[in-house]
Amino acid sequence: MFLFILLVFLCSQSAGIAQGTLTTVPTHYDTTASGEYSGSVISDRGLRFLLIVHLRVFNNGTIQATYDVPDRQAYGLRFTNASIYNSRLQLVNDSADAYVEGLFDAHEGTIDGTWIEKLSRSPVRLRKNIAPVRFQQSSLGLNYVVQHIDVTDSGHMSGRTATLILPDTIHRWPLFILISDHGYQDQDATDQTGHKPFLVMAQMLARRHWASLRCEDRKDEAEYDDDSLRKAHAADMLRLVEQIRNNNNIDTSRIFIIGHGEGGLVGALVSMLNPSIVRGIVCAATPAVPGVELLPEMVESSERLYGTDENVVAVAVQLLRSWMNVVASIKDLTKATQRIAALADSVVKEHEELVTKFPVAARLMRLDRDEYINETLYPWLYSYAVLNPTPILSKIPVPFLALMAERDVHVPSKQNLSAWQAIPRLDPRSDVRLVVGVNHNFQSCDDCTLEEASTNPETIKIEVLWDIVEWADRVD
């Protein structure tokens, strides 16, 4: 995402709590100040990511501090220097050139300040987390059979493990294959807030007498463009289906696919490759509009959610559309880079506030902006410029169920619901539905922000999963 809401509030000044770095671990620590703090940060790529800081402030004046960036699969990174003095907090990781500086209010449980990484500065507000009790993960029983499958029949899949869950080993069970959204994810589809939706779905499906199969994503994604990657994913999944069909506990006439986000496009491709082995597919929050429309709508929806000034959003979205036109019309990377930079200069000249409120515009004012455009901005824009779901979705040869999440800011429901409703239904049992009051991951939500999701005890609205099961049963 492009913009970042400026949440820098004045906090009451509290007395100095502690300062210094940890050399030995004391036996007592301040439970008021210590804890896990998290919040959104905007990267120099313009994407919002979750930063989690773990603080242990000890009574003898020492501090232990680490941080996680789940989007980067980075956990337990140590701040080499940490201090708090007169409510001023400073955390430094010299090796990663990363810093957190700002006001620390232990009693309010907030850190208001700046995230600094390799000369990129972003305002940040971290709030202390009260550990959520994720009842759907913590209350899962063991009344099912787990089988781990080494996938060795394809060079692309080698070294990965798939997990099959069966209600028991006596009967033959219908099967749901779970395919995750764009970008590398583990087989539980663990998201940046720690929720494990595929794990929860798999075990709850077993309670409803359905088997499930899930597999971690490819680790060589950087070697493919998005279209080729989807096709490679589909070929991999088809080989995996062929392998699982030899399992005596699987009813091979009732194999369904649930694809989340762009995983729905992969599921559609699998059904097109061999419709005889796929009974139906569920596309959950799967985009149906071209990427040139999806990206601006995504940015606009997201920033409105975070309360960004409407004028700033309008200008930024218009600049984004102009950049998308450049990517679509100019194939020469050097010329495209020059044009993207020129457009940024022109807009910033008329709207100087973008330099402070629009991180990507600020990033383009630096001397190394050509490198940034070539290596980061252009590939990101290009991935949306070439995204065109319609040719895939319009050829799904099996029954499909498309579910749109009403409060989704990644795949905004309004435009995508209309696009799905216009998709030809080659099978009359296909259906398109809007799920009210849920976010992109089909969690119930109020403000539907990333921060709320991190403390949400619910991983997935269970009624959504039961609706999927009931639809699949009717297809049979």
Q: Which two tokens stand for residue 16?
A: 């100095």
Task: Return the amino acid letter for 339.
Answer: R
Interatomic CA distance for residues 459 and 439, integer angstroms: 11
The reply to whether 135-289+389-475 shares the fold of 35-128 is no
pLDDT, one tens digit per residue, over 80-98 is 999 888 889 999 998 888 8
Coil, strand or helix: which one is 451? helix
179 closest CA partner among 135, 245, 232:
232
Nearest one of 259, 248, 246, 255 to 276, comparing CA atoms: 255
Strands in 250-371 per DSSP E? 250-260, 280-284
- Tens-digit pLDDT string for the chain (476 aa): 434 332 222 232 233 333 333 333 444 556 678 888 998 887 656 667 889 999 988 877 788 899 998 877 788 899 999 988 888 999 999 888 889 999 998 888 899 999 988 777 888 989 888 766 776 776 555 578 899 887 754 555 556 788 999 998 899 999 999 999 987 889 999 888 889 999 999 999 998 999 999 988 876 655 456 778 888 888 888 888 888 888 999 999 999 999 999 999 999 999 999 999 999 999 999 999 999 999 999 988 888 887 778 888 898 899 999 999 999 999 899 999 999 999 989 988 888 777 666 667 777 777 788 888 888 889 889 989 989 999 999 999 999 999 999 999 999 999 999 999 999 888 899 999 999 999 999 999 998 988 888 888 899 999 999 999 999 999 97
Helix (H, G, I), strand (E, B) or coil at 443: coil
pLDDT by residue (tens digit) across 310-336?
Answer: 888 898 899 999 999 999 999 899 999
- Number of residues written out for the chain: 476
- pLDDT for 359: 66
What local confidence, expressed as pLDDT, does residue 1 receive?
Answer: 42
CATH number for the 35-128 domain, one of 2.30.290.10, 2.40.50.100, 2.40.128.120, 3.40.190.10? 2.40.128.120
**Three-state DSSP class for 252?**
strand
Q: Give this prediction's pTM.
A: 0.76
Q: Measure the CA–CA gap between 257 and 178, rounded to whole angstroms.
A: 6
CB 139 within 8 A of CB 462: no
Other beta carbons less than 10 A from residue 31's beta carbon: 10
- Domain spanning 135-289+389-475 has what CATH number? 3.40.50.1820
Q: Is residue 354 a contact partner of residue 361, using CB atoms and an 8 Å limit?
A: yes
Task: Check residue 134 and give its pLDDT.
Answer: 74
What's the chain's Rg over C-alpha atoms?
24
Element (H, E) at 306: none
Which sequence spans correspond to the domains of the chain?
Answer: 35-128, 135-289+389-475, 311-385
Helices and strands, counts by H and E, the chain:
15, 17
Per DSSP, helices labelled H in 225-309 are 226-244, 263-273, 291-305
Q: In the prediction, which pLDDT does 310 show? A: 87
